[in-house]
Amino acid sequence: MDEFARMALCEHEAMRIARRQRFWMHFTVWAAFSIFVFVLWLLTTRGFPWFAIPIMAWGIGVAAHWAHAYVVRDPEEILMLREQRSGALADAPTDPRPPAAAPSAGHGSATPSADEGSATPSAGEGGDTSASQKD
pLDDT tens-digit profile of 28-87?
Answer: 999 999 999 999 999 998 899 999 999 999 999 999 999 999 998 888 888 887 887 886
List all residues 6 or more positions away from 118 whose beta carbon is below 8 Å from its beta carbon: 112
Highest mean pLDDT among 90-94, 112-116, 127-131: 90-94
- Alpha-carbon span 121 to 73, nearest angstrom: 52
Confidence of residue 92 (pLDDT cuts 50, 70, 90): low
* Residue predicted with more confidence, 38 or 5: 38
Domain boundaries, the chain: 3-92
Confidence of residue 12 (pLDDT cuts 50, 70, 90): confident
Is 121 a residue whose pLDDT tops 70?
no
Is 5 a residue whose pLDDT tops 70?
yes
* Residue predicted with more confidence, 24 or 80: 24
CB atoms within 10 A of CB 92: 15
Q: Indicate if the alpha-carbon torsion angle 85, 91, 95, 97 is positive or negative.
A: negative
Output the pLDDT for position 118.
Answer: 46
pTM of the model: 0.58
Average pLDDT, the chain: 77
List all residues 6 or more positions away from 129 whose beta carbon is below 8 Å from its beta carbon: 122, 123
